[in-house]
Structure 1
Amino acid sequence: MEDLLDSLFSDLTATGSQILNFGITWAVIILAFIAFGFLLWHIRCLRDDCEFTLTRESISEQCEKIRTLLTSMKANKREVTYALLLIEEIVVRLHENAGQAVSLRVRHFFGDVSISLSARGEAYNPFESVESWNTESEDYLRDLIFRAHKLNLGYSRRNGRNVVLVRVHRATSHSMYITFTAMLIGIACGFGMKFLPAGVASFIAGGVLSTVQSLFLNAISLLLAPLVFFSLSSGLSKLSGGSEIGRIGGKVLASYLVTTVISILIGFGISFLFFSGSVPSLPENLAALPEGMQQSADVSVSSLLLGIIPRNMLSPILEGNMLQVIFIAVLTGLALSALGDKTAALRSIFDEANSLMLKMMEMIISFMPTVAFAAMALLVFSYDLATLAVLAKYLILIIIGGIALLLLYSAIIIIFGRISPLAYIRKACVYMLTPFMIPSSSACIPLTIDFCKKKLGVSNKIASFSIPLGASINMNGIAMSVILTVILLARMCGIELDFGTCVKIGVLTLLLAIGAPGVPNSGLVVVATLLVAGGIPVGALGFVVGIWNIVDRLQTSLNVNGDIATCVVVAKSENELDESLYSE
């Protein structure tokens, strides 16, 4: 009878799992179609009121209609004014070339606003004279406006027409919409891949999706060390003297230290609150560690501290050791600042090099939607529902800890910044999608600096100093989640940690969180180190290995948001915060 009941229970469990799998798959597919519909809805091109026919004589009377239309599409006053000046000059030139009326279309795509002007006639590029700099030319003054907005202009020849494109407004939410849509489609594809033949699915996952993700991360790794070096050196060189550097640096470091300590306490609090009752024993089939993890678990605190200062200038950049790169960058920036005007030319070179690195990183980051699709498809395909169900509570508790950290950041902004945290919460929670898709605080440095400057009103001086530093030493998300992980694994192994052991684990976490070893799965190595310190079998780490990719992304999002909160508070204390832009 017991065998019959066991068999019946197993059949019901298997059937329920299949039904759940089927239901979730179709739910995600429906979400993907909704996302696709959302995409189509945003392609609001070419309504009747978005088309105009212009000649040299009629352009003046049409300008007001175009102004009203552009304003309704969220273009600001300055953008509208420049757009109208460009339109007028382009229409005049196209009309002079062939004497034909010019067709103007206003396009609105994902918040971006652009204008297309076209006219029939012989091939004619109205921007051709812009390339020369002849002050004697009669078109010199007319070309000035084109030179000032060259990056927003484009020319092409299509179907016997000269076509000119004017980019009027770039929406800040443009990439977010596309990336979010790509994520949803990736989730749907990941579930769909589970129903493909094993060989086909493995080829798509390993040969295509994994390759796309690896290429992207390799390209980012290529620029990380020089980007951090030039960004931090350039920012420090602009500070007026040792006293200002010490004051700002002290505030930044103090904030990072305090928030990391509180994050550790939050991890302990959540662990003891939710794991105080009965905890299931560790599943034996999940006890295996990735290759090389065992020998990487003996990271010592002394070697971490001694490893901050490199033996030469090149190896940190070549090896990607971020703590050593930061040490060299800080030393260089302080020296440039101390030498003052003597190094004006060198400081200018550093500024230009920093701009070059930021532009190169921006070009790489433009592929984010493709990588988001690949990452989410690979993530969903790699884990089965049974494993995800076992680990659901663990992930939920990390999310709860993340919410506690966001409340901590908000409290810091209220207490020390004396400003409302609502703008920070509203904007930073949206930005969290970026570090979630790029699980590296360092890789997000240019995007985070840009976000702080353009969305929160932080000055470049504070952002370019605080963010690169925080990306390497401010690991609040890691500190909270590794404590939670260690306590959970200890309970699952039947080990009760005494007060002294908890203090030891907390101190080690504080030290290791600011400089995780530069090896694959470095977050796992930190956990493994703490397991050894707490007398917990390192093999227990196999329980969380399967979902560490998700945990790592959550950690990165929380780390970056901690950097942003500190950046805002320090900027406010130094009168380097544009409060009107912050409150928008």
Structure 2
Amino acid sequence: MATLSYNKLGLTGKILIGMGLGILFGLLLRNMLPDSPFVKDYITNGFLHVIGTIFISSLKMLVVPLVFISLVCGTCSLSEPSKLGRLGGKTLAFYLFTTLLALVVAVFAAVIVHPGDATLAAEKMNYVAKEAPGFAQVIIDMMPTNPVQAMSEGNMLQIIIFAVIFGFAIAHIGERGKRVAQLFDDLNEVVMRVVTLVMQLAPYGVFALMAKLALTLGLETFGSVVKYFFLVLALLLFHNFVTYSLLLKVFSGLNPFIFIRKMRDVQLFAFSTSSSNATLPITMETTEHRLGVRNNIASFTLPLGATINMDGTAIMQGVATVFIAQVFGIELSITDYAAVVVTATLASIGTAGVPGVGLIMLAMVLNQVGLPVEGIALIIGVDRLLDMTRTAVNVTGDCVASVIVAKSEGEFNEAVFNNTEAGKVAHSFNAQVHISENQSA
């Protein structure tokens, strides 16, 4: 009976159960068997690590084929260069605007709340920042010299550019192009079906990830930076639920509550995986089938957003910069605050695709205003949970941009958006049921 009830649950319910049980399992083991070599070697770094890594790998496995195939399909239908340029301009402008807004609010809130305590400067701090590439080099590196290598390395910007060029060429070779485009449409359907199959693993993957987190994350790390942690967390939640809702209502007139309700699965995936790229297959599936955004828009805005849209990271950088300045007793001028906002906004594009991008961007900002990079060591301990939350914020921003741009371009199905059952997947081990756009309309 319990099994039947569990199978009737939606994906959100199953993920929440997996998340809750994982945290409970981890905490129980942590308290019942503290410092146990068996737990550390065979459960934390063994069973849980294997299950969690397989889950993340299964999602990442889909990212490159999904982005390339979907973007080719979308670009094929954008045969006019002016429309492609307009789409890119709108998307980039929205991402830069929300990043700028997030930074301004974060810096202002940090100045008012004053989370930094000068006594923390006496703590031993050691952090070596990786060097970020120059902006000119980033622009050069965007053009792929070897598309196959770009795909094998998961270089999203290079994949996006090659897919756009490839799709644009298909749209301009007549009848032969139509045959190739149909092939990519069929491949897109296959990839999306694989996404629904992988989503069945979500509750188990989330269980393993959260259990491992509960076993490895010590509460003692929060002691010295508790004010910083809760300020960043509050700002992330505000940006996610208030700022994005207002932007959605103002620029599209759509109901934010429907949007938030349909975003639950994506946000839970993002929170659990801490990776916008790993969440991308779920983000695209939800945006197209649940939010009503056409593929030719979603296939462009979402991969680009997963690469350069970092509102959550921007909030962390704004608060962290002010926090570190307060810890070291360094007064920042209005000019310094302006430099923080501008540098972090540009860095969100300039360091796209670089491993450890959040801390690299923060190191760039600190160097720009003359603050000690070693101060990053203070916040590394609590950054794991904040990273999970800001990833959820980032993917929400990607979806908001997709909906707003799609509606402005007339590539949006409002009937699908307003239908709470549209695109909903009934997960069980035997079937997946998609409600099509025709039914919802």
Partner letter of residue 419 of structure 1?
L
Structure 2 residue identity aligned to 1:273: I
1:569 corresponds in structure 2 to 404
Q: Which amino acid aligns with 1:186?
A: G
Query: Corresponding residue for 1:348?
Result: 182
Distance 2:313 2:95 in 1: 13
CA distance in 1, matches of 2:64, 2:122: 40
For 2:111, the equivalent position in structure 1 comes to 272
- Spell out, residue by residue over 1:9-36, the C-alpha distance to the aligned partner (whole angstroms, 9 max, x if none): xxxxxxxxxxxxxxxxxxxxxxxxxxxx
Contact 1:240 1:337 in 2 (8 A): yes
Q: Distance in 1 between matches of 2:174 and 2:248?
A: 34
Relative to structure 1, is the Cα distance of residues 535 and 243 closer, same or farther in structure 2, using a 3 angstrom cutoff?
Answer: same
The 2-side partners of 1:193 and 1:246 are apart by 54
Number of aligned residue pairs: 415
Q: 3-state SS of the aligned residue for 2:147?
A: coil
Secondary structure of 2:120's aligned partner: coil
Other-structure match for 1:255: 94
Equivalent residue for 1:67? Answer: none
1:476 aligns to 2:285 (yes or no): no
Query: How does the TM-score come out when normalised to structure 2?
Result: 0.86
Indicate whether 1:462 and 2:297 are aligned.
Answer: yes
Paired residues for 1:356-395 under 5 Å: 356-395=190-229
- In structure 2, the partner of 1:199 is 37
Paired residue secondary structure (1:547): helix
Q: How has the CA–CA distance of structure 1 residues 418 and 200 changed in structure 2, closer, same or farther, with 3 Å as cutoff?
A: same
One-letter amino acid matched to 1:199: P
Aligned identity (percent) is 30
Q: Aligned to 1:496, what secondary structure does the other structure show?
A: coil
Instruction: Report the Cα distance in structure 1 between the residues aligned to 2:316 and 2:271, rounded to whole angstroms.
Output: 15
Shift of 1:559: 0.7
User: CA 1:396 to 1:429, structure 2 compared with 1: closer, same or farther past 3 Å?
Assistant: farther
Structure 2: state its 5+ residue gaps.
Answer: 420-441
| Change in CA separation of 1:466 and 1:178 when aligned onto 2, cut-off 3 Å | same
- Inter-partner Cα distance in structure 1 for 2:168 and 2:36: 57
Letter of the aligned partner of 1:176 in structure 2? Answer: T
Give the secondary-structure state (helix, strand or coil) at the position aligned to 1:235: helix
**How far apart, in 2, do the equivalents of 1:334 and 1:318 lie?**
23
Code of the residue aligned with 2:15 in structure 1: it is: T
Shift of 1:276: 7.3
* CA distance in 2 between partners of 1:555 and 1:322 (Å): 20
Structural mapping, 1:241-320, within 5 Å: 241-275=80-114, 280-282=119-121, 284-285=123-124, 287-289=125-127, 294=128, 296-320=130-154
Q: 1:366–1:557: structure 2 CA closer, same or farther, 3 Å change rule?
A: same
Aligned to 1:414: 249
AA at the equivalent of 2:98: T
What is residue 181 of structure 1 aligned with on the other side? 17
Aligned to 1:555: 390
Q: Give the number of the structure with larger relative contact order, counting CA–CA contacts within 8 Å between residues 6 or more apart.
A: 2
Q: 1:226 to 1:280 in 2, by over 3 A?
A: farther
Instruction: Indicate if the aligned counterparts of 2:62 and 2:191 stay in contact, CA closer than 8 A.
Output: yes
CA drift of 1:565 comes to: 1.0
Unaligned runs of 5+ in 1: 1-38, 46-108, 113-172
Please report how far the alpha carbon of residue 533 of structure 1 lies from its aligned counterpart in structure 2 after TM superposition.
2.5
Tell me, yes or no, if the aligned pair for 1:297 and 1:526 is still in contact at 8 Å: no
1:11-26 residue pairs with structure 2 within 5 A?
none
Worse-matched range after superposition: 207-216 or 295-304: 295-304
Tell me, in whole angstroms, the C-alpha distance in 1 between the residues paired with 2:254 and 2:398.
Answer: 17
CA shift at 1:557, angstroms?
A: 0.5
Q: TM-score, normalised by structure 1?
A: 0.66
Distance 2:95 2:185 in 1: 26
- Which is greater in Rg? 1
How do residues 97-176 of structure 1 correspond to structure 2 at under 5 angstroms? 109-110=5-6, 112=8, 174-176=10-12
Cα RMSD over matched residues?
2.5
- What amino acid is the match of 1:311? T
Pairwise CA distance, 1:490: 2.2
Report the CA distance between 1:430 and its aligned residue: 5.7
Other structure's SS at 1:442 match:
helix
**1:187/1:485 CA distance change after superposition, 3 Å:** same
* Residue 447 (structure 1) aligned with residue 282 (structure 2): yes
What one-letter code is carried by the residue in structure 2 that aligns with 1:200?
A: F
Task: Find out whether 1:336 has 2:170 as its counterpart.
Answer: yes
When residues 375 and 355 of structure 1 are mapped into structure 2, their CA distance, relative to the original with a 3 A threshold, is same
In the alignment, is the contact (CA less than 8 A) between 1:282 and 1:543 conserved in 2?
Answer: no
How many Å separate the matches in 2 of 1:502 and 1:186? 41
